[in-house]
Structure formats: C-alpha cells, structure tokens
C-alpha cells in the first residue's frame, strides 16, 4: 500500500545521449554552413578572374550550400524510433500508453489497431492527427475521440496515422522518441510492405508477446523477415500479461513454483529465438532483452499516481511491485539502447558527410592558393628576367658609349695630328 513508483525522470536519462548529440551535430552543421557561405562569397569575388578559378570549382562550392541545407533539414527532423509488433490484443497499445504515462492510444476489445499509428511530440502544444489520405489536422483531445476519428477513416493496414501529442506532457516525446504501433502480425499482412514503409528506419523493435501462450509462428516469421532486411536489429521481447501468472493466496506455493517454471521456459525460448534463430545478439545480451511485465498494471499505477491517488485503489495482483520494477528496468535498457543506436545510425552518416564537405572545400581552397602562388612566382620570375635584360642592355650601352667615346677621341687626335702635320708642312 505504501508503494511509490519512484518514476521521477531527470535529465540523466540515457535518452540525453541522443538529445545532446543531436544538439552538437546541429551546432556543427551551423558552423559548416557559415564556412560554406564564406567560401562561396570569397570564390564569388574571384569569379571574374578565370585564371585563378575554374567554373567547375565555382559550381562545386555552390553545390555544397544545397547539400548542407539538405542535411540540416534532415537533422532537425531526426528522432529515435521504436516500433511495436506482436499479435492482436497482446497489449501493444497498452505498453505504449504505459510508457507515455497516459491513455493516448485506444486499446482493448473493439479497438483493434487496424493500421499503423505513430505517436510523436507536437511542437506547438496541440494534440492532433494526420492521416496518409489527407494531411488536414484533426484535433484529438481524448482517447475516445481518437478511436472515433480512426473508425471514420477508410485506411488499409499498412497506412500510417500520425498522432501528435504535446511534448510537455511526456518526457519521452520531448526527447524525440517516436512510437509506432502496428496492426497484429496475425492480420495476414503484407509484411514486405510493412517493413519497407515502417521498419527500415526503426532503431528498436519491441515484440509484445503474451506470457499466457508461447511465441507464435506469425510473430517469429515477422522478425525473421526484419532481420533479413536490417543487419542485427535491436529487438526487445516483452512477456506481457505476466500478472495473469500471479499466485492466488489459496494455492500460493504451488502456483509460485509453476510461475518460476513457466518463466524459465519463456526466458529460454526467447533467448534461443534471439541468439540461435535470428542471430541478432549473444546469449549474455539476449538475457537482458527479455522482460516479464504487466503493461496494464503499470499504466493503471502511473495514472493513479498522476492523479495523486493511492495505487492500491486499483486491483493489483500479487507480485505487482516486481513486475513494475521489471517494466522500469525494461524502460532504462530500452532508452540506453535506442539512444546509442539512433546516434550511430542517424548521425554517423551525416558526420562523415560533413567531414567530406569540409575536406573537399579545403582541398579546393588549397588548390586555388597553390595556383595563385604559382602565378605569383611566375610573375616574379618574369619580372626578374625583364630586369636582368634591362640591366644587360644598360651595361652594354655604357660599354658601347665608352668605346665610342674612345674611338671619337682617337679620331679627333688623329685628325688633330694630321692637321698640325699639314700645317707644319
Ligand atoms: P493490442 O491489440 O496489442 O494493441 O492490445 P491492447 O493494448 O489493445 O490490449 C488488449 C487488451 O488486453 C486490453 O483490454 C488491455 O487492457 C488488456 N491488457 C493489456 N496488457 C495487459 C496486461 O498486462 N495484463 C492484463 N491482464 N491485460 C492486459
């Protein structure tokens, strides 16, 4: 009765790895943008002088502007995406609601999710949805309204409805996590289309299984297909409805033993599925990917606590606390996994591209500098040659004048001698 969820989330959340990395890479791209703009301006000034700069270089540098802008746009939109799969009614919508701490997605009988639903943070604090059929914003204030809006739409199972929920209502949305709920994998879906449309950019997959039964072929098949398209997808398995295994007071001891046995069986099979069948992780990591939870209880407890009402007001089965802690443990490991994976998959390519752009611009500038230095050297060489020539001519002139002077002198002397001789005679 005294149980508190201790759900205080702080900025120490592992999701901050992604949030900080996103801020950093965006800042770096602002600097790259400035650099590209400066270079374009500088090169523009040299444009007139086609000896220094080639038209192709101008084109190249100008094309970087568009490239950098394109990357900046993508970076602003980049988020962490988690997609939930499993059979109908295993509790996918309830798990998402429990993580969002709010009844956002409709769940339960009569509310089978018959298309893909994506929940993401809305920037302007409004709650609304848009469909693939029309991008008119339809306001959503309650789950009932959302359920109603979805019933109205004629959507096929691979269609996507995007639900925008105010970021300030949920820290996961604030930190750029996007949730995708899918129709049950038992709905004879076109799996290839599902994977192409909704899975290729997912950072984490969560298989919501029913702890009351074993993993179904349909569930396994889906993940086999996913793992042929993506190299080592991050998969978590949630054994949901674990509250159903709770022991009743009358049969406590026997039921606890059965529960342990069932749990061990589910655990072994799930680990085998991840390690031996899908080959997506090693046995040690796989142990950390399987959780026995009750999404329904977690959601109820969180909603009660938000209303400041005691948790024991809702009927909770024996072992609730343990299941609750396991849910929190799942969330922590999920957050670590998704943020690290998203940083790598979303930012690695961009940072390499950024480096390439900067290196290429630098190379172009180096080549231009090299060319101008060579031109300067050539000019100086020519100047020196002309100078040397002038010097040579000057020297020759001096020598010539000297020679002429002496010659004239000699002629004058000769004439004088001849004249005085003639006079004497
Ligand atoms: P989805 O079709 O996989 O999205 O399943 P829903 O989230 O709509 O859940 C189907 C029904 O199962 C709803 O009535 C939920 O309240 C119920 N449910 C979901 N999780 C649990 C759980 O952990 N324990 C129990 N007992 N019921 C659950």
Q: Which atom of ligand 1 is nearest to the CA of 96?
A: 7
Q: What helix, strand, coil percent values describe the chain, rounded to 5?
A: 60, 10, 25
Structure tokens belonging to residue 144: 């009932």
Q: Which atom of ligand 1 is nearest to the CA of 111?
A: 8
Give residue-wise pLDDT tens across range 20-63. Answer: 999 999 999 999 999 999 999 888 888 776 678 888 888 888 89
Per-residue pLDDT, 267: 97
Dihedral of CA atoms 43, 49, 51, 54 in degrees, nearest 10, equals 40
Q: How much distance in Å is there from the Cα of 418 to the middle of ligand 1?
A: 140
Provide the 3-class DSSP secondary structure of residue 135: coil
* Ligand 1 center–CA 337 separation, angstroms: 25
pLDDT at 270: 97
Q: Is 245 helix (H, G, I), strand (E, B) or coil?
A: helix
Cβ atoms of residues 320 and 297 within 8 Å: yes
Cα(92) to centroid of ligand 1, in Å?
Answer: 7
Burial per residue of 369-388, b for 16 or more beta-carbon CB atoms within 10 angstroms, e otherwise: eeeeeeeeeeeeeeeeeeee
Of the candidates 221, 214, 161, which has an alpha carbon nearest to the alpha carbon of residue 195? 221
295 C-alpha to ligand 1 centroid (Å): 7
Closest of 135, 94, 111, 100 to residue 238, by C-alpha: 94
Give ligand 1 pocket residues (Cβ under 6 A).
86, 88-94, 107-108, 111-113, 240-241, 243-244, 294-296
Q: Which residues of the chain have pLDDT under 70?
A: 1-11, 49-50, 109-113, 152-154, 188-189, 312-315
Q: Tell me the best of 89, 111, 208, 213 to mutate to test the pocket of ligand 1, counting ligand atoms within 8 Å of each CB and taking the most.
A: 89
Instruction: Report the atom number in ligand 1 closest to the C-alpha of 244.
Output: 26
CA pseudo-torsion sign 251, 254, 256, 261:
negative
Residue 159: per-residue pLDDT: 87
Give this prediction's pTM. 0.83
| Cα distances (Å, whole numbers) of residue 37 to 43, 48, 61, 62, 65 | 10, 18, 9, 9, 7
Residue whose CA lies nearest to ligand 1 atom number 2:
89
State the pLDDT at residue 7: 64
- Is ipTM > 0.95 here? yes
Ligand 1: centre distance to CA 108 (Å): 6
* pLDDT tens by residue, 231-280: 899 999 999 999 988 877 777 788 888 889 999 999 999 999 999 999 99
């Amino acid at each position: 009765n005294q149980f508190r969820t201790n759900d205080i989330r702080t900025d120490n959340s592992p999701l901050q790895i992604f949030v900080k990395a996103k801020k950093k890479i965006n800042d770096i791209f602002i600097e790259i943008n400035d650099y590209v703009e400066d270079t374009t301006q500088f090169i523009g000034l040299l444009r007139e002088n086609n000896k220094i700069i080639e038209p192709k270089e101008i084109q190249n540098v100008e094309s970087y502007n568009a490239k950098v802008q394109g990357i900046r746009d993508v970076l602003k939109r980049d988020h962490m995406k988690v997609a939930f799969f499993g059979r109908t009614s295993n509790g996918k919508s309830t798990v998402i609601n429990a993580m969002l701490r709010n009844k956002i997605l409709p769940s339960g009988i009569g509310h089978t999710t018959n298309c893909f639903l994506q929940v993401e943070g809305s920037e302007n604090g409004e709650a609304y949805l848009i469909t693939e059929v029309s991008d008119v914003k339809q306001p959503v204030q309650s789950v009932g309204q959302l359920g109603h809006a979805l019933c109205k739409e004629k959507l096929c199972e691979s269609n996507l409805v995007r639900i925008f929920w105010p970021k300030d209502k949920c820290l996961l949305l604030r930190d750029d996590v996007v949730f995708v709920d899918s129709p049950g994998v038992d709905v004879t879906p076109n799996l290839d289309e599902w994977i192409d449309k909704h899975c290729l950019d997912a950072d984490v997959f969560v298989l919501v299984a029913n702890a009351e039964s074993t993993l179904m072929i349909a569930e396994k098949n889906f993940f086999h297909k996913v793992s042929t398209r993506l190299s080592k997808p991050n998969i978590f398995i949630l054994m949901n409805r674990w509250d159903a295994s709770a022991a009743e007071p009358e049969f406590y001891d026997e039921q606890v033993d059965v529960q342990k046995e069932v749990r061990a069986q589910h655990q072994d099979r799930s680990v085998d599925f991840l390690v031996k069948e899908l080959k997506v992780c090693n046995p040690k990591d796989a142990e950390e990917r399987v959780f026995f939870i009750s999404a329904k209880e977690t959601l109820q407890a969180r909603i009660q606590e938000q209303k400041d009402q005691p948790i024991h007001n809702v009927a909770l089965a024996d072992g609730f606390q343990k299941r609750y802690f396991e849910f929190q443990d799942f969330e922590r490991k999920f957050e670590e996994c998704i943020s690290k994976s998203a940083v790598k998959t979303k930012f690695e390519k961009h940072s390499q591209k950024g480096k390439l752009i900067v290196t290429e611009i630098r190379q172009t500038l180096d080549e231009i500098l090299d060319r101008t230095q060579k031109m300067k050297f050539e000019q100086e060489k020519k100047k020196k040659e002309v100078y040397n020539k002038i010097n040579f001519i000057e020297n020759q002139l001096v020598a010539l004048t000297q020679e002429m002077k002496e010659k004239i002198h000699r002629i004058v002397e000769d004439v004088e001698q001849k004249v005085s001789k003639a006079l004497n005679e």
